[in-house]
Amino acid sequence: MEITPQVRFRGMDPSVTVEAAVRERIARLERFHKRITACSVVIEAPHRHGRNGSIYHVRVNVGVPGRKIVVGREREENHAHEDVLIAVRDSFDAAQRQLEDAVREMSGYRVKPHPERLHGKVTRLAPEEGFGFIAALDGREFFFRRESMASGDQWKQLKIGIEVRFAEHDGEKGPFASAVTIV
């Protein structure tokens, strides 16, 4: 790496364990692109008075020649991120995917865009018929089928009110969800 990465903590004391995990993930990014010109990571602790629990937000900014990769701008609440190390892992996984796409684009490959992953709750479920509906955080409703589950085993675990992540698609009869996973 051409520069020293910056790791900052907001709303929390610096953690040697978290910083070590961040630096390990930065080193892993270097395997995909040797000329990282900028790297900053901000780990933000949740506000103590919030109603959303203690969800950590991790922002990763990586610069490479001709490209800037930014992860963590969305404020979607992912309850798995109540563990700061999981929040770090997920943010760096997203940064790695973007960096891999950038490398492919620079080498002339056509890159398939990743559909945006949304968060919502199951509002209606017809287990016998094999379908249900998800209400996204923005208020839209999405149809999904048993075959839309990322893992077939999760279908049996679904209940009304359970939180899920999914990819959004437009169909002839309206929006539908695929790659549905329980949060």
Residues of the chain with pLDDT > 90, as a percent, come to 43
CA atoms of 67 and 36, how far apart (whole Å): 10
pLDDT band, very low/low/confident/very high, at 48 (cuts 50, 70, 90): low
DSSP state of 139: S
SS3 at position 29 = helix
**6-106 is classed CATH 3.30.160.100:** yes
Structure-model confidence comparison of residues 42 and 34, the more confident one: 42
DSSP codes joined into one string, 92-125:
HHHHHHHHHHHHHHHTTPPPPPPPPEEEEEEEEE
- The two three-digit tokens of residue 73, written as one number: 């701008």
The pLDDT of residue 50 is above 80: no
SS3 at position 4 = coil
Residue 46 sits at the vertex; the CA angle it makes with 42 and 50, to the nearest 5 degrees, is 150
For residue 122, give Cα distances in angstroms to 17, 96, 119: 36, 30, 10
The pLDDT of residue 36 is above 90: no
C-alpha torsion angle, residues 64, 118, 73, 95 (rounded to 10): -20
What pLDDT digit, counting tens, does each position of 62-72 carry? 998 888 989 98
Pick the CATH number of 117-182 from 2.40.100.10, 3.80.10.10, 3.40.50.1970, 2.40.50.140: 2.40.50.140
CA atoms of 104 and 106, how far apart (whole Å): 5
- The two three-digit tokens of residue 69, written as one number: 């990769």
**Is the distance from CB of 32 to CB of 96 less than 8 angstroms?**
yes
SS3 at position 22 = helix
Q: What is the pLDDT of residue 109?
A: 65
Query: Does the pTM of the predicted model rise above 0.85?
Result: no
Enumerate the domain spans of the chain: 6-106, 117-182
CA atoms of 130 and 151, how far apart (whole Å): 14
Structure-model confidence comparison of residues 151 and 126, the more confident one: 126
